[in-house]
């Protein structure tokens, strides 16, 4: 019996990721509170990050639909859990951004409670992609979220955004630093994906990671 070929496995996942996101995606619903969640009838992957980290832009690049997730330069634009679906047995979830203080305190607290309860109590949530701006690296608010996800035992994976905005040397150093930090977090997935919606870098790898999650869940 021959040994599995990692290169072949990687190529197969890249192809599966391309096929997964060739089909059209649509906005399903915005969820302001847990009682409005859609039925837990398929796998879910969610995208979290500080406000203005580029979540909506990344989702749009992922699905090749520029207007699917609304983008804005205004921190806190996404105030609900926004669900997107296609023919695949999968939801993409755009989570409210964290780490800004311009909204009323009660609203910030309500959004925080919604996100926390969703992360802890959603059985079909397969992974959270934690988006980090390459220009800024991990911030204290990111570390706080990582600690919460560790406690909730929710698998999460760091995805760097705007990787084209820093030098290749700085990006290598940032990747090494984040991987060292992740080793201390039990719920963190060890692989970090560096992406750019401007150049398309890392987008195929992110699609492949989601395809792997879906295949493993099946």
Pairwise pLDDT comparison (116 vs 12), residue with the higher score: 12
* pLDDT single digits (tens) 47-101: 999 888 999 899 999 999 988 887 544 444 457 899 999 999 999 999 988 765 4
CA distance 114 to 123: 15
Residue 99 to residues 51, 76, 95, 163, 190, Cα–Cα distance (Å): 6, 9, 13, 21, 24
Do the bridges between strand 26-31 and strand 81-85 make them parallel or antiparallel, or are there none, so unpaired? antiparallel
* pLDDT single digits (tens) 180-189: 999 999 999 9
Domain boundaries, the chain: 6-217
Q: Is the pLDDT reported for residue 4 higher than 80?
A: no
Q: Is the pLDDT reported for residue 102 higher than 60?
A: no
* pLDDT single digits (tens) 154-213: 999 999 999 999 999 999 999 999 999 999 999 999 999 999 999 999 999 999 999 999
- Residue 97 pLDDT: 83
Strands (E), the chain: 26-31, 43-49, 81-85, 90-94, 125-133, 156-161, 193-194
Contact assessment for residue 134 and residue 57, using Cβ atoms and an 8 Å cutoff: no
* pLDDT single digits (tens) 139-151: 988 998 899 899 8
Least confident of 36-50, 108-122, 198-212: 108-122
CATH of 6-217, one of 3.40.50.2000, 3.40.50.300, 3.30.470.10, 2.60.40.10: 3.40.50.300
- Residue 58 pLDDT: 96
């Amino acid at each position: 019996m021959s040994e599995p070929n990692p290169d072949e496995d990687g190529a197969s996942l890249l192809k599966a990721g391309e096929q997964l996101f060739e089909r059209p995606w649509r906005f399903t619903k915005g969820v302001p509170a847990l009682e409005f969640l859609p039925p837990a009838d398929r796998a879910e992957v969610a995208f979290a990050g500080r406000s203005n980290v580029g979540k909506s832009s990344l989702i749009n690049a992922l699905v090749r639909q520029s207007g699917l997730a609304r983008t804005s330069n205004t921190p806190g634009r996404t105030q609900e859990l926004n669900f997107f679906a296609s023919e695949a047995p999968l939801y993409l979830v755009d989570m409210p951004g964290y780490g800004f203080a311009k909204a009323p305190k009660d609203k910030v607290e309500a959004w925080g409670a919604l996100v926390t309860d969703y992360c802890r109590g959603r059985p079909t949530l397969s992974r959270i992609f934690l988006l980090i701006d390459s220009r800024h690296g991990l911030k204290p608010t990111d570390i706080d979220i990582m600690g919460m996800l560790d406690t909730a035992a929710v698998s999460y994976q760091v995805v760097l955004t705007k990787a084209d905005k820093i030098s290749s040397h700085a990006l290598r150093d940032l990747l090494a630093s984040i991987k060292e930090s992740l080793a201390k977090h039990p719920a963190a997935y060890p692989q970090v994906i560096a992406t750019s919606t401007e150049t398309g870098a890392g987008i195929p790898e992110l699609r492949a990671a989601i395809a792997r999650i879906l295949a493993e869940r099946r």
